């Protein structure tokens, strides 16, 4: 018992002496811990900045795309209108007459039966209406969550009993 | 620790410190000045602005997809006083490109934004695409130039504060074609008349102001612009153009004040053409165009009610045949007059036509005979029961604004008198619209079932097309009655001289001359359809106050002939014998 206490005391004194003789060892340990903490913080901050930067870039792209869409819609309307002016009934008739055509009369027509031809059909500008489930585009939480949001979400998430884990 | 180890620590620490300082310095430079200021100026990160979401008004197409009313790009030019840097540059540019008064623009642009109530000043609301493009190019060139030059006051040229915003304006590629059907869109986006007014809710989209954040993290919160729905009409532009051409020609021949031709597909109720005279050029000078409708002229006669005259005899005869009180061969001796309730009914020529049958009564359009059928054979109860069954007095519900209901004084009305029954039987004292007549008479080519006229074929919204389905409006008469009366009316048309114009096609029809109360003028009408054995078209002609002759057989029937001649070509309808021959194959 006494021997054991002596050994312990001796070991403690050895450590104390070692630190007294080389105090930088303790400093090194403290610096190591501090640097580890800083490194973790830097890593997390980098992640945070990276995710936010990507989200901001995408947000800007969306905003610019919307502006482009608006500009294109204006242009499409203008071009559609110009095209319609060019192909209006009056213009087409004038062009046909300039090319030497004239309206046909009923006694000049020859009727031929074309099997399978359904005759003139009305225009279809879009597919017929049907039941459509419109779902919003799903964006990964990675683009919208900060790491703090993620951490809080994890903490608030219900913990399943072990027996229920898959 | 030896010196070497200590040095390593110092160097590592210094590198960390240096890195930190560089990062912080960069952050400060970005946030406080330099590029940060520029970025914020262009796209403020935390700014919230009120955005006006201008929806495009829905396009209107004909049945083949030709654009009848669309949108064109037009610009609004305004000043934002807070951003103006050089009023002289703005005044020079605007006066040169838009032709506005230089001194007035300079005065407006020189105002102190602190002293005015509204810093946004509108210069021109309707700047065409070409002019606006020149102004935009000038602005971009000036604002981007390193040395844009300077104005006499020594300031650098700048068009900052000059705002050129695009917006939609209605365009009409077909000019005045079908303008009375389309209606008018006013500058404020509201609409009057036609499809534009009736379907304003569908066409206009959803205009709204919203707060839009410039924050890119909220980019997905930007609301979508809800554009108006596109409409496909049942109108066929080739038929419409042909009808307008025929009508304009006959307006000159007849000297009528106003004219109308409506063509309907009797199988589906689709209006294939609806020509009015006069018509409005929707792209023309508003003040000039409005003058066309002075002097009580109607914008679209198809929606107006009038005393139709003898075309209404079809209804009286249909009721009489359906109840079985007469047959086509029922004899009648025309003495030239009939006493009813102390009034004397006379024929259109005042003459006595002697022995007749119901078919010849219709052929010669004898008022006395039809009044006799209504008063002596049908009786008021059954006559008005059929008038109700044919839905007179009820609008058709067509997709056009301001449709009249017409007016029928039924026998339970306190002001009704027995003479009303006699006059109503030949289309006087009763107000109906051409569309109501088309709906009622459509029972004949449809085996007794009436079809509801409609002009809207489909609605295209959010990339989906919603079709409008044909609707029956009830069955007032039996299929047998319909067939019998059709045969009578086809026989009548065959006996008339004007049928020589379109050999090969058997059609049915009836003229109608309605006198306008208090004048010697008339309303000349004609309703007809064909081919009788396979009805493809039903035509209604109404000439208001023709001056060359008062009689429909001379004024309205020739219009019908010309219309049929065009229709058989445009609708690919072969002559009856060819059709039967092809059908046999």
Residue partners of A20: CB distance under 8 A and separation at least 6? none
What's the ipTM?
0.79
The CA–CA distances, whole Å, from A120 to B233, B241, B320 equal 15, 18, 40
Q: Report how far residue B358's alpha carbon sits from residue B484's, in angstroms, rounded to the nearest whole number.
A: 11
Residue A164 — pLDDT band, cuts 50, 70, 90? Answer: very low
Which residues in chain B are closer than 8 Å to A113, comparing Cβ atoms?
582, 585
Does B177 contact chain A (CB < 8 Å)? yes
Does B174 contact chain A (CB < 8 Å)? yes
Q: Report how far residue B151's alpha carbon sits from residue B158's, in angstroms, rounded to the nearest whole number.
A: 9
Chain B CA closest to residue A79: B72
Measure in Å the smallest separation between the Cα of A40 and chain B Cα atoms: 15
Q: Are the beta carbons of B446 and B482 closer than 8 angstroms?
A: yes
User: Residue B21 CA to chain centroid, in angstroms?
Assistant: 71
Looking at residue B186, its pLDDT comes to: 85
Q: Are the beta carbons of B79 and B90 closer than 8 angstroms?
A: yes
Specify the length of chain A in residues: 166
Q: Report how far residue B164's alpha carbon sits from residue B487's, in angstroms, rounded to the nearest whole number.
A: 66
Looking at residue B564, its pLDDT comes to: 94
Measure in Å the smallest separation between the Cα of B411 and chain A Cα atoms: 45
At residue A119, what are phi and psi to the nearest 5 degrees? 85, 180
Does B56 contact chain A (CB < 8 Å)? yes
Residue-by-residue DSSP string for B508-523: EEEEEEEEPTTSS-EE
CB pairs under 8 A between A and B: 143
Residue of B24, B73, B130 to mutate when probing chain A, most A C-beta within 10 A? B73
Does B73 contact chain A (CB < 8 Å)? yes
Q: Structural domains in chain B?
A: 71-150+161-167 (3.30.70), 237-584 (3.40.710.10)
CB contact under 8 A, B465 and A88: no
Residue A141 pLDDT exceeds 90: no
In this complex, which of A82, A88, A113 lies closest to B174 when CB atoms are compared? A88
Q: Are the beta carbons of B514 and B348 closer than 8 angstroms?
A: no
Which residues in chain A are closer than 8 Å to B30, comparing Cβ atoms?
none
Look at strands B271-277 and B258-264 and give their pairing. Answer: antiparallel
DSSP E strands in B172-307: the ranges are 184-185, 191-192, 208-213, 230-233, 258-264, 271-277
In this complex, which of A77, A89, A122 lies closest to B241 when CB atoms are compared? A89
Looking at residue B524, its pLDDT comes to: 95
Q: Report how far residue A93's alpha carbon sits from residue B177's, in angstroms, rounded to the nearest whole number.
A: 14
What are the 10-residue block averages of pLDDT along chain B, 585 residues in total? Answer: 80 88 84 64 58 85 95 90 89 92 92 86 88 90 82 84 89 93 87 92 82 75 83 96 96 95 96 94 79 82 94 96 95 93 90 93 94 94 96 94 93 92 94 97 96 95 89 94 95 74 84 89 94 95 94 92 94 90 78
SS3 letters across B299-361: CCHHHCCECCHHHHHHHHHHHHHHHCCCCCCCEEEECCEEEECCEEEECCCCCCCEEEEHHHH
Residue A128 — pLDDT band, cuts 50, 70, 90? Answer: confident
Q: At what angle do helices A24-86 and B3-32 cross, to 10 degrees?
A: 30
In this complex, which of A88, A89, A129 lies closest to B465 when CB atoms are compared? A129
Looking at residue B216, its pLDDT comes to: 78
CB contact under 8 A, A55 and B216: yes
Looking at residue A165, its pLDDT comes to: 44
Measure in Å the smallest separation between the Cα of A8 and chain B Cα atoms: 27
Q: Are the beta carbons of B409 and B429 closer than 8 angstroms?
A: yes
Chain B CA closest to residue A25: B1
């Amino acid at each position: 018992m006494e021997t054991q206490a002596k050994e312990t005391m001796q070991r403690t004194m050895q450590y104390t002496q070692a630190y007294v003789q080389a105090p930088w060892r303790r400093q090194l340990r403290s610096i190591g811990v501090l640097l580890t903490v800083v490194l973790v913080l830097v890593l997390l901050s980098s992640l945070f900045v990276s995710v936010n930067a990507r989200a901001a870039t995408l947000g800007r792209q969306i905003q610019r795309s919307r502006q482009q869409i608006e500009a294109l819609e204006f242009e499409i309307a203008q071009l559609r209108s110009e095209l319609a002016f060019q192909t209006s009934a009056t213009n087409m008739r004038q062009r046909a007459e300039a090319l030497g055509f004239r309206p046909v009369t009923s006694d000049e027509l020859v009727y031929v039966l074309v099997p399978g031809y359904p005759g003139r059909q009305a225009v279809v500008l879009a597919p017929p209406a049907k039941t459509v489930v419109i779902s919003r585009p799903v964006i990964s939480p990675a683009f919208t969550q900060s790491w703090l949001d993620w951490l809080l979400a994890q903490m608030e998430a219900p913990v399943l009993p072990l027996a229920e884990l898959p | 620790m030896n010196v070497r180890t200590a040095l390593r620590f110092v160097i590592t620490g210094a590198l960390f410190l240096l890195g930190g300082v560089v990062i912080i310095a960069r952050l400060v430079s970005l946030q406080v000045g330099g590029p940060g200021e520029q970025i914020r100026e262009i796209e403020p990160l935390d700014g919230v602005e009120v955005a006006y979401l201008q929806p495009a008004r829905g396009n209107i197409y004909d049945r083949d997809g030709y654009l009848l009313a669309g949108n064109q790009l037009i610009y609004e030019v305004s000043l934002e006083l807070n951003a103006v840097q050089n009023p002289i540059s703005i005044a020079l540019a605007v006066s040169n490109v838009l032709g506005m008064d230089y001194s007035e623009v300079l005065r407006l642009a020189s105002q102190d934004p602190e002293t005015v109530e509204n810093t946004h000043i509108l210069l021109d609301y309707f700047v065409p695409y070409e002019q606006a493009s020149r102004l935009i190019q000038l602005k971009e060139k000036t604002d981007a130039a390193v040395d844009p030059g300077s104005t006499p006051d020594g300031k650098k040229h700048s068009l900052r504060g000059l705002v050129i915003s695009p917006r939609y304006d209605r365009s009409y590629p077909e000019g005045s074609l079908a303008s009375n059907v389309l209606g008018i869109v006013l500058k404020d986006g509201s609409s009057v008349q036609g499809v534009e007014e009736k379907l304003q809710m569908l066409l206009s989209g959803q205009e709204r102001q919203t707060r839009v954040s410039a924050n890119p993290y909220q980019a997905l919160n930007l609301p979508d612009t809800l554009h108006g729905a596109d409409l496909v009409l049942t109108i066929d532009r080739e038929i419409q153009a042909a009808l307008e051409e025929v009508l304009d020609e006959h307006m000159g021949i007849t000297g009528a004040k106003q004219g109308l031709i409506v063509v309907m597909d009797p199988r589906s109720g689709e209006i294939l053409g609806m020509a009015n005279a006069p018509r409005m050029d929707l792209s023309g000078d508003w003040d000039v165009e409005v003058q066309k409708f002075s002097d009580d002229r109607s914008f679209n006669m198809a929606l107006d009610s009038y005393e139709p005259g003898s075309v209404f005899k079809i209804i009286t005869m249909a009721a009489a045949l359906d109840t079985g009180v007469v047959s086509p061969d029922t004899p009648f001796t025309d003495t030239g007059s009939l006493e009813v309730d102390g009034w004397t009914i006379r024929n259109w020529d005042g003459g006595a036509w002697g022995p007749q049958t119901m078919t010849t009564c219709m052929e010669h359009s004898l008022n006395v005979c039809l009044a006799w059928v209504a008063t002596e054979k049908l009786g008021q109860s059954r006559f008005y029961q059929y008038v109700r069954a044919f839905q007179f007095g009820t609008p058709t519900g067509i997709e056009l604004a301001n449709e009249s209901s017409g007016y029928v004084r039924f026998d339970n009305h306190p002001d009704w008198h027995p003479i009303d029954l006699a006059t109503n039987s030949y289309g006087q004292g009763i107000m109906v619209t051409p569309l109501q007549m088309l709906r009622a008479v459509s029972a004949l080519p449809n085996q007794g079932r009436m079809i509801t006229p409609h002009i809207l074929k489909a609605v295209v919204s959010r990339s989906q097309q919603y079709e409008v389905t044909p609707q029956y409006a009830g069955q007032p008469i039996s299929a047998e009655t319909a067939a019998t009366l059709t045969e009578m009316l086809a026989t009548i048309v065959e006996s008339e001289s004007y049928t020589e114009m379109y050999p090969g096609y058997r059609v049915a029809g009836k003229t109608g001359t309605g006198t306008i109360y208090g004048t010697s003028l008339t309303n000349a009408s004609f309703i007809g359809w064909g081919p009788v054995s396979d009805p493809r078209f039903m035509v209604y002609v109404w000439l208001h106050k023709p001056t060359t002759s008062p009689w429909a057989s001379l004024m309205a029937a020739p219009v019908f002939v010309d219309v049929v001649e065009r229709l058989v070509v445009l609708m690919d309808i072969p002559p009856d014998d060819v059709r039967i021959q092809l059908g046999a194959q």
